[in-house]
Amino acid sequence: MIAANIQLQKPGFELRAEFEVPAAGVTGVFGPSGSGKTTLLRALAGLEAGVTGNLVVSGAHWLSGSHSMSVQERLVGFVFQDPCLFPHLTAMGNLLYARNRAKNSSYQIDLEHVCEMLNIHDLLNRKAGLLSGGERQRVAIGRALLNRPAMLLLDEPLSAVDQGGRNYLISILENIFQHIEIPIFYVSHASDEIARLAENLILMNQGRVIAHGELKQVLGKIDTPLNASDEAFSVLRCTIKSHQLPYLTTVQTAGGEVLQVPRQPLEGDSVVRLRIRARDVSLSLQRAQESSILNILPATVVALSPEIQQGTRTVKLDVAGDSLLARVSEYSVQQLQLQPGKAVFAQVKSISLVG
């Protein structure tokens, strides 16, 4: 378990973070820019001076009262937004720099294996300055791994990478995260990255932790600032069923509801995650006939967000056991008389299959 109750006072900014997450798997740290995500990560690493409070990681006191473990003692791997390769060394030199200083003896990691996972074999003899953004970030991730960290911290690692490189890097990260058994904190403001990679979620806003816990549980909390905004989204775990319809793949939710998504080159029975933006879901009282919308699901209203932003509310729905969020206007809420327990049809305009 990782338990934190930390504070940091900086000019014009205050961090107050209290959370508890399992010391395994990927914890996403999500929030708008300026909400303190990076500062939280830096505080976990010990890179911020003046942090007070308590931080316990798997029984070890990284911070308690005035005693603070040094950066070096914490054995964290930190991947910054900007890859920050050492410019006077080659890619290989950067990897060896980390490997030669690795102090953690609780597991081994093979240089060859790391290069293979990150596909950086061909880059090893090049100086950092001669690599593209995506290549540099891959080497930086390899460097962090070869130091055999006890915890991996990634601060928007995809932000310095172009769109094509992003998709590639995210699939590499997904693979790595499945193979290493250390806690990982992944900071992002992109909901598709969070939906794809995170198992747990810490929601941040204005320097505070708003909610923390298992991903779906946190996303399902109706009263968070995230869910009061247009950024609200849901994640559904589905199983691939068939490829019978033209251009489409049929998937099934845990509760048995069927959805059509753009054709995927995936085999039957593989498990995928869907991210559905709340603003792509609309509600009606009757099932629309002959509609261009493919996915219309029977649902029950569970709750409505207490806050109305720009005349719009978030409605939490139950779709055969899964929770789904919809953004609808307050006018429609009144017209359709939406209230908990009401049966509706959710029309899903767009789904992205994230992994």
Partner 1 sequence: MLSADDLSAFVLTFQLAGVSTLILLLLGTPLAWWLSQTRSRWRSPIEALIALPLVLPPTVLGFYLLLSISPSGPIGSLLQALGLPSLAFSFWGLVLGSVIYSLPFVVQPLQTAFSSINRQLLEVSATLGAKSLDRFLSIVLPMSKIGYVTAIVLGFAHTMGEFGVVLMIGGNIPGSTQVLSIAIYEHVESLEYGQAHWLSGILLVLSFAVLLVVYTTNRRGFKVSAP
Interacting residues with partner 1 (CB under 8 A): 45, 47, 71-72, 75-78, 80, 82, 84, 86-88, 97-98, 101-103, 143-144, 147
End-to-end distance of the chain based on CA atoms, in angstroms? 27
Q: From the CB of 187, what's the least distance to partner 1, in Å?
A: 15
> Distance between CA 163 and CA 146 in Å, rounded?
27
Shortest distance (Å) from residue 119 CB to partner 1: 22
118 or 194: CB nearest partner 1: 118
- Cβ-based neighbours of 258, under 8 Å, separated by 6 or more: 241, 250, 251, 252
The residue (of 161 and 215) whose beta carbon lies closer to partner 1 is: 161
Angle between helices 163-179 and 111-118 (to 10 degrees): 140
User: Nearer to partner 1 by C-beta: 51 or 144?
Assistant: 144
- Torsions phi, psi of 199, nearest 5? -105, -35
Nearest CB to partner 1, comparing residues 71 and 258: 71
Residues β-bridged to residue 324: 317
Residue placing its CB nearer to partner 1 in the complex, 86 or 107: 86
Class of residue 341 by CB neighbours under 10 A (exposed 0-12, middle 13-18, buried 19+): exposed
| Least distance from partner 1 to the Cβ atom of residue 217, Å | 31
The two three-digit tokens of residue 324, written as one number = 């789904």
CA distance 253 to 300: 16
Phi, psi (rounded to 5 degrees) for 105: -105, 10
Q: How far is the CB of 42 from partner 1 (least distance, A)?
A: 8
The CA distance from 311 to 266, in Å, is 40
Is the CB of 101 or the CB of 263 nearer to partner 1? Answer: 101
Nearest-approach distance from CB 13 to partner 1, in angstroms: 18
Indicate the residue among 60 and 254 with the shorter CB distance to partner 1: 60
Minimum distance of partner 1 from residue 107's CB (angstroms): 16
> What's the closest the beta carbon of residue 46 comes to partner 1, in angstroms?
8
By beta-carbon proximity to partner 1, the closer residue of 96 and 124 is: 96
Minimum gap (Å) between residue 120 Cβ and partner 1? 17
